[in-house]
Each structure stands twice: as structure tokens, then as C-alpha cells.
Structure 1
Amino acid sequence: MSDERFGSLILRREGGRASIVIDRPGKKNAIDEAAWRAFTDVAAAIAADPEVAVVVVRGAGGAFSAGADIGEFVTLAEADEARRDAFADAVRDGEEAVASIPQPTIALIDGACVGGGCQIALACDMRIAGATARFGVTPAKLGIVYPVASTRRLVTAVGPSAAKELLFTGRLIDAETAAAIGLVDRAVRPERLEAEVDELAAAIAANSRYSLAAAKRTVDALGDPEPDLAALEALWRGGFSGEDLAEGARAFLDKRPPRFTWRRARGPQPAS
């Protein structure tokens, strides 16, 4: 296991799994501007590592993230337009960096997951929550507006009506309710949270990197109004000429687990 620190974020690597840990437990992992910027650097480091098959995003100290660092909003309200734009760019870029990580991402959610914390969780591919987790989308309580991309992800996850209720009321909901409306994929007993995520991450990491990267690109692209179907077709066809297909087919016939060797540094490669 190796740890690398990017400000208040920790990038932890262990075998084929990487973890992004939001590490501001004294502030319930509130995400300040520096942390939003750090997400861009951490995501780039993960994308460049051919050994990483799956990524877990989590918080330190029993909370995912209580949201934005409200202390920054006080000074932001009195700042000039250029300063406010720089902050908005940092938030947008940090969230999109997480969403653009080419490997599958899992949010491990314990404790508070509010505001900006929900932004990061929704930018992940899957969300697993402990039963004691609490969720909220609270910009209306602060006089601000949830980002467009974040709102789109929220609507995609829970539907327009549930998204409006969360945004209009700013109320907190429990993990069971979050699972029922689709904000998280499932809620589990707190003592099972780590094991559930470990099992899911291990099941993903055992599979072909090519298949994982291509599947994520395809699913994400199909959510666009006009996906590049030719590029997606090339991803599909590319698998037939890959070393992973040869190994996967042999392993199936030999009745043994496959030992996939494809990495993004070698072809065939999903187009970027």
C-alpha cells in the first residue's frame, strides 16, 4: 500500500485498487477551494496509472463530506467577479475530474454526504452507503444554486420530482430513503459497509481493463443527446482483436479465473 497526499486529499494505491480519501475530519471533510483543485490532480494521477482497475472515493473520520467550506462563502460574497469565477471554475473542474476518471468509481458513504459531498458522490459511477449516512442538497439554505452538471446528475439519479424536492427543501434524508429514490445504489448495515465495497471493488478489479474502460465510456456516452456512435462501435469491435479476449476465452474453456494483462498503455485502446 502507498499513500500520496494532494493537500487535504489522500491517494491510496493497493494492487489494482486506488482510494481517494477526503481528509479534513476536523471539518467533517468539508471541501474547500484547494480540495476542489486537488481532485483534478488526483484524478489525473489515477488516469495515468495503468495498474488501477477500480477507484473508491471516501471520507476520513466517519463522514463522507459535509459539503462546501461555508467559511469561504462569506468572503466569496464580497469578492469581485473574477475571484468568484475562479472559485466556480475550481468546483466545476474538480467535480468533472472525478466524473472523467476512466476507471469505475465507487463512493463509500458514511456519515454526512451533503451539498458538495453529494456532488462528488454523484460524480462516481456507484454509491454504497452505510445505514447511518445522511444526505442533503442544500444550496437553497445558503442562497446559492446547485451547479448545472451536478443538477443533471441528480435528476438522472432520482428523477425530476425527487430532485426538486431535495433542492427546494434542502432537507436531510436517511440512507434508506436515499436508496429508495435512487440517490445511492444500496444502503447496508454500518458494520457491513467496508466489506460490501471491498467485495464490489474486487469483483470489478478481476475483470478486463479494456472491458471496464469501454463499458464506462459507452454507458456515459449514451447519456448524451448525440453520442458518437461510430467511436462506440470502434470500442466494441476493438475487443475482438484484444489480448484480453484471447485470455478470457481460454480461461473459460479451461475453467479457471482469467489473468488479464491488457493495460491502457498497450492496445487496443478505448479512444479518449
Structure 2
Amino acid sequence: MSTDDIRIERKGARADLILNRPRRHNALTEAMWLAIPELLAPLAEDESLRLLVVRGTGGSFASGADIGEFETAYATLERAETYSNGIADGLNALADFPKPTLAAIEGVCIGGGCGLALACDLRFAAEGSRFGITPAKMGLAYPFNDTKRLAEAVGLSTAKDLLFTGRHVSADEALQIGLIDRLLEPGALAETVSDYAALLETRSSVTARITKAMLTRLEAGQTDEDAITRQWFLDAFTSADFKEGYRAFLDKRAPDFKRRQD
């Protein structure tokens, strides 16, 4: 894989996971899927990171897995399992990333590209974007984790419709059904994402980390508090962020969570 096909670009407290195959509308090769966990691992441990943005180049988000690889990828059941596991590992690494994640979508967001967007916490899209999840057009099944993420975003009935038909969805409909969280005018996407990253930079990373961990357990089916979630809640009171937050409140000033308090 060319290192330019997928890469991390750091911008202060924000990191971008960039899909860079514009001639193929950023279709993801097997090597790109396999690279995602490796690229995200060091960022997960970076305390200065506030937001991970996933975006494509050339006016597209991602057109899905690279169909040019399918003949070899699905040549045997064993090979298909290896290939599918690699895709799942990439999507799960993004879904399990401990910090807030945002898909910045323009152009096509189809198949595995839509799966990649659904693995993010939030999805902002530009007008004119197109969405679709298309296993029904290829005689394939959609994996359980991917199906779960879709159903959580749009509800069971709409998930059934999208998967049964494989139809494409406009950006307006995507907003209406909950597939995306914000719909922006052309040219406003990059600025809005930058503004959102700047906002998160002023907020507590401790709050974001614990909140995301709590919501992950909720999505997994946990219905009641347990010893772990209770401890997460209590741990926040001993954090440097809380010390800075309440001191700022008493001082009637904006908190600076970049500070490290003893």
C-alpha cells in the first residue's frame, strides 16, 4: 500500500484519518483496512488529542471496499474470512476508539464507506452527499456489528429498508432518518468541523473519555449501573480536569483543561 492511500494528519488537538484514493472515490483496499488499527493505536494513548476526524480527498468520503480486489478476496471461504476479518478489525478499531470521532462526509458514502462513517460517534455531511449500504446488490450479508451500528442510528425499520433494497439515500433523507447528525451547505463542512474541534479543545477530555465509555456499555445492552461505571463516575472527582473546572467556576473564568493541577 502506498503510504498516501491512508494517513494521519495532526492539527493541534485534532487528528484526521485521511482516505486518499480520489481516482477511485477513496475505495478502501484491504491494506487500507488493515492499516486503520495501526494508525489509531498511538492516538488512543495521546492525552492531548480531543477529536479524530475521518474524511476523504477529492470530493468524496468513500465509495466502499475496493471491488477490484473482490475476485481474489472472495476466491475461497478461508480467504473471504481473512479479508472480512480485516475489514471488521478496521471498523471496530474506529468504533472502539476512546476519544470522540467525527466523519466529515462529502460526495459518495457508500457500502464500506457508510460503515466507516457509522463507526464514528458523529457524522456531519455536505449537501449533495449520497449514502447507501449495498450488500443486497451483490448477494452478500451485512456483518452483525455493522448492522447493529446502522440500526442504532436509524432504527430497525429503516435499517431493514436500507439493507433489503440497497437503495441510495440523499443527504436530506439521511438527516431525516438519523443517518447523519448535521447537514451543511456546500463549502461549510470544513469550517464547521474545525469549529467543532476547537470547541472540544476547550472541554474536558476526562468527561469525553468517561462519557464515551459509558455510552459504549449502553449500546452493548447494559441497563444498570455496575461497580465499573460507578468507579468511572467517582474517578472524575480526583482528576486534574475537575480541579481546574471547579476552580475556574469559583474564579468566574473559562476553564483551561490544558493545565495540569496537582
Structural RMSD (CA): 1.8
Contact 2:124 2:182 in 1 (8 A): yes
* 1:151 partner letter: T
Corresponding residue for residue 232 of structure 2: 235
Contact 1:53 1:103 in 2 (8 A): yes
Offset at residue 225 of structure 1 (A): 2.2
Q: In structure 2, what is the Cα distance between the partners aligned to 1:61 and 1:111? A: 9
Corresponding residue for residue 107 of structure 1: 103
Q: In structure 2, what is the Cα distance between the partners aligned to 1:190 and 1:86? A: 39
Task: Number of aligned residue pairs: give it.
Answer: 260
Contact 1:6 1:41 in 2 (8 A): no
Matched, 1:256 2:253: yes
Unaligned residue ranges in structure 2 (runs of 5+)? none
Q: Of the candidates 51, 54, 58, which is equivalent to residue 54 of structure 1?
A: 51
Offset at residue 257 of structure 1 (A): 2.0
Corresponding residue for residue 206 of structure 1: 202
TM-score by length of 1: 0.91
Corresponding residue for residue 270 of structure 1: none
Corresponding residue for residue 161 of structure 1: 157
Corresponding residue for residue 148 of structure 1: 144
TM-score by length of 2: 0.94
Q: Of the candidates 178, 203, 213, which is equivalent to residue 182 of structure 1?
A: 178
Contact 1:104 1:125 in 2 (8 A): yes
Q: Of the candidates 25, 29, 46, which is equivalent to residue 28 of structure 1?
A: 25
Contact 1:135 1:174 in 2 (8 A): yes
* 2:62 partner letter: S
Q: Which runs of 4+ in 1 moved over 6 A?
A: none
Moved more, 214-223 or 250-259: 250-259
Q: In structure 1, what is the Cα distance between the partners aligned to 2:163 and 2:4? A: 30
SS in 2 for 1:218: helix
The C-alpha deviation readout for 1:94-133, integer Å capped at 9, x for no partner, is 0000111111001000000000001110000000000111
Offset at residue 235 of structure 1 (A): 0.8
SS in 2 for 1:260: coil
Corresponding residue for residue 189 of structure 2: 193
SS in 2 for 1:10: strand
Offset at residue 6 of structure 1 (A): 4.7
Structure-to-structure mapping, 1:55-134, within 5 angstroms: 55-77=52-74, 79-134=75-130
SS in 2 for 1:64: coil
Contact 1:210 1:262 in 2 (8 A): no
Q: In structure 2, what is the Cα distance between the partners aligned to 1:167 and 1:260? A: 43
SS in 1 for 2:199: helix
The C-alpha deviation readout for 1:154-203, integer Å capped at 9, x for no partner, is 00100111111111111111111000000000111012111211121211
Unaligned residue ranges in structure 1 (runs of 5+)? 268-272
Q: In structure 2, what is the Cα distance between the partners aligned to 1:229 and 1:180? A: 35
* 2:46 partner letter: D
The C-alpha deviation readout for 1:237-258, integer Å capped at 9, x for no partner, is 0111111111111112222221
- Over the matched positions of the two proteins, sequence identity in percent amounts to 42
Q: Of the candidates 187, 211, 217, which is equivalent to residue 213 of structure 2?
A: 217
Matched, 1:9 2:2: no
Moved more, 6-15 or 189-198: 6-15
